[in-house]
Amino acid sequence: MHRYIPIILYFVSLLLILGCENTYYDDYTKMEVQQLDKDLENRWSTSGVIVKNVTQNGPANKADLLEGELISYIIGEYPINSSADFKRAIKKAIAKDNNLLLYIKEKPPIRIAIRQMGDKVGIEVDDKNTVQIKHIIPGTPASNNPDIKVGDIIDKIEDERKIFSLSDYKDSITEFAKMNTEVKFRTSELIGVKIASITALGNLGDARAVNPLIDILENNPELSLRKSAVKSLEKLVILSGLNPLFTIYREQNVNQLPVDSLDLKLRESAEILGLIMIDPIAKTATLEAPFGIQFRRRSDQLYKQVNDGELVEVAEKHIQLSTEPDQEIRRACLSIIGILKPETSIQPLINVLIDNNEIPGIRFQAGLGLSRIGNPSVDSLILVYHEADDAGKDIIVSSLGTIGGQIARDFLIKTLESTDDPAIQLTLVDAIAKIGDRPSLIALERQRDRFQEDDSAIRIFLDEVFNSLSLHNTNETPN
């Protein structure tokens, strides 16, 4: 007995070593597959094997299977030529995961699932010339499916095997290769990697990222990727806005400048984004390495890429509820337009503002975008005022108040003097007070006289406006 111990030990250790191998060369498809890292298996519900190497001109190579793809399923077919084939195929197909795909002639594939091992699928067949369903057992999964009928001709059975480990892969491919000349692989995308890459590209502020991100926003079917892409585009737009600041560093060919020589708002943004470091004692703003120093060189390129028109066009499309069902994406696109302030966006923004199917927050954001564009928006805002609903009117008035100027002011005063709607009156007073020039104050005085005997909300509000204005003036008068 003792003399067998070394031999047994040898085989046990061989088994252990082989069991721990994490790659396998598949001779059927001529490719090497690799077990996923153990710790990856629990992330993002991922399972499968990774294609490590594909042999040139082998079957996998000819099928265009690529290195790095994650094989999550192997799908094999059982051809059915006799009732014995059918019984064997059913038994094998449900053995691992209790479900199979049944292909009936001239019908779409039907998925059948049994509750537990040992349950019957519920189909009995006849095989004269073809394999035909002769009886469906009541109370079985087959009887619950109205598409399965007596007399149907069975074509084939497909077995989808989810791959968890290298040995799952080995077993499945060996089994399917014995019965068939081909096999189907279903690959999965590692969404987490793509989301992280998209986010990182937004943070890195490189012009090369703009078009690929637009492409994802426009064409990718995966919502999570589209959301990440639009957020990264928004970040790139913010970074491109720092170009004037970085131009100063670039033109002077320095990495450090006195804080006072830089625009306050821009330098604060750059500091928050980790591009510059401000020393409050030395009063210097130094470019951070490597991000700030590298960005000095390429901020101009990013600025040009962001402002070349394509991004604005895409954003204008995706702010419309009719084109973009996801509100996060619509919001991010509105934010992009709000930063870039293109005049071409006035009409698309107006469309959002007056769309009463849109949620109020987004309509308000559209109004904010129009305010940022400023004077060029005034005519369009005035034009749609009367066709807008109450919420729309409110936003329009508020936007005109923010933009200011003679045309906006005159329109607001005229509207205030002609409306009896108390809700809009308040917004109008607020907007006119925001403009705050002499004609505006005179107009508000007139309104105060108009509501002299009244203790309505508008009268109280007007009093508050004048109180705050007089307080403001008192604070300014000492000089």
Partner 1 sequence: MRRACLLIGLIVFILGCGNQNEHLAKGKELIKSDKRRKEERAVREFKLAIDIENNNAEAHYLLGFYDSQEYYDINQSDWNNASIAKRGQHMYKAYQEDPSEYLEILIFDTLRDDDVNVQNAALEALTLVYQQGDRKQLLKQLEKAIKSNDNRDRHDAHWVMANIGKSDPSTIVPLLIELLKHKQMGTRLNVVKALGEIGSEDAIPVLATIIDSGSAKRQSDREEPEVRQLAVAALGKIGGKAVPELVKITQNKGSSLRVDAIRALSTLGDEKAVQPLLDALEEKSSREVVVNFQN
* C-beta separation of 213 from 233 below 8 A: yes
Query: Chain-centre distance of CA 282, in angstroms?
Result: 43
Of 124, 168, 206, 430, the residue at the interface with partner 1 (CB under 8 A) is 206
Q: Which residue lies nearer to partner 1 by CB, 188 or 402? A: 188
**Could you say whether residue 68 binds partner 1 (CB under 8 A)?**
yes
d(CA 444, CA 451): 11
Report the alpha-carbon distance of residue 332 to residue 235 in Å, rounded: 10
Q: Least distance in Å: CB of 289 to partner 1?
A: 9
Three-state SS for 46-113 is CCCEEEEEECCCCHHHHCCCCCCCEEEEEEEEEECCCHHHHHHHHHHHHHHHCEEEEEECCCCCEEEE
Q: How far is the CB of 157 from partner 1 (least distance, A)?
A: 17
> To the nearest whole angstrom, how small is the minimum distance from the Cβ of residue 74 to partner 1?
10
Residue 272's contacts (CB-CB under 8 Å, 6 or more residues apart) are: none
Q: Does 189 bind partner 1 (CB under 8 A)?
A: yes
- Least gap, CB of 112 to partner 1 (angstroms): 20
CB of 26 to partner 1, least distance (A): 10
Which listed residue (8, 15, 66, 150) binds partner 1 by CB under 8 A? Answer: 66
Q: Does the protein bind partner 1 through residue 196 (CB under 8 A)?
A: yes
d(CA 228, CA 198): 6
- Residue 82: count of CB within 10 angstroms of its CB: 11
Of 70-109, binders to partner 1 (CB under 8 A) are 70, 75
Q: Which stretch binds partner 1 (CB under 8 A): 57-65, 89-97, 127-135, 470-478?
A: 57-65
Nearer to partner 1, 250 or 448 (CB): 250
Closest CA to 419 of 438, 435, 399, 396: 396
Phi, psi of 258 (to 5 degrees): -65, 140
Element (H, E) at 136: strand 131-136
Rounded to a whole number of angstroms, the minimum distance from the CB of residue 60 to partner 1 is 6
| Binding flag, residue 210, partner 1 (CB under 8 A) | no
At 442, which amino acid appears?
I
What b/e readout covers 365-383, taking b as 16+ CB neighbours within 10 angstroms? bbbbbbbbbbeebbebbbe
Q: Please report the sign of the dihedral spanned by the C-alpha atoms of residue 337, residue 342, residue 344, residue 350.
A: positive
Residue 347 neighbours by CB under 8 Å, 6+ apart: 380
Q: Is 1 in the site for partner 1 (CB under 8 A)?
A: no
**Binding partner 1 by CB under 8 A: which of 204, 248, 339, 441?**
204
> Rounded to whole angstroms, how far apart are CA atoms 446 and 87?
93
Peptide bond just before 290 cis, omega within 30 deg: yes
Q: If you ran DSSP here, which 8-state letter would residue 313 be given? A: H
Contact pattern from residue 318 through residue 347 relative to partner 1, giving x for each residue in contact according to CB under 8 A and a dash for the rest: ------------------------------
Residue from 168, 171, 175, 288 in contact with partner 1 (CB under 8 A): 288
The residue from 24, 60, 169, 431 that contacts partner 1 (CB under 8 A) is 60
**3-class secondary-structure state, position 153:** strand
Contact between 177 and partner 1 by CB under 8 A: the answer reads yes
Given candidates 142, 183, 262, 413, which one binds partner 1 under the rule CB under 8 A?
Answer: 183
Provide the β-strand partners of residue 132: 126, 153
Does 244 bind partner 1 (CB under 8 A)? Our answer is no
Beta carbon of residue 179, minimum distance to partner 1 (angstroms, whole number): 11
Can residue 197 be called a binding residue for partner 1 (CB under 8 A)? yes
Q: Which residues contact 150 (CB under 8 A, 6 or more apart)?
A: 133, 134, 135, 136
Does 254 bind partner 1 (CB under 8 A)? Our answer is no
Q: Per CB under 8 A, does 190 bind partner 1?
A: yes
304 is a contact residue toward partner 1 (CB under 8 A): no
Q: Is 36 in the site for partner 1 (CB under 8 A)?
A: yes
Provide the minimum distance between the beta carbon of 206 and partner 1 in the complex, in angstroms, as a whole number: 5
**Considering the rule CB under 8 A, would residue 52 count as an interface residue with partner 1?**
yes
Q: Please identify, among the stretches 1-9, 14-22, 309-317, 466-474, the one whose residues bind partner 1 according to the rule CB under 8 A.
A: 14-22
Radius of gyration (Cα) for the chain, nearest Å?
35
How many positions of this chain bind partner 1 (CB under 8 A)?
Answer: 70
Stretch that binds partner 1, among 31-39, 162-170, 326-334, 426-434 (CB under 8 A): 31-39
Q: If binding is defined by CB under 8 A, does position 311 make contact with partner 1? A: no
Instruction: Give the residues across from 54 on adjacent strands.
Output: 31
Q: Which residues bind partner 1 (CB under 8 A)?
A: 17, 20-23, 28-29, 34-40, 43, 50, 52, 58-60, 62-70, 75, 177, 180-190, 192-194, 196-201, 203-206, 208-209, 212, 216, 220, 222, 274-275, 288, 290-292, 294-295, 298
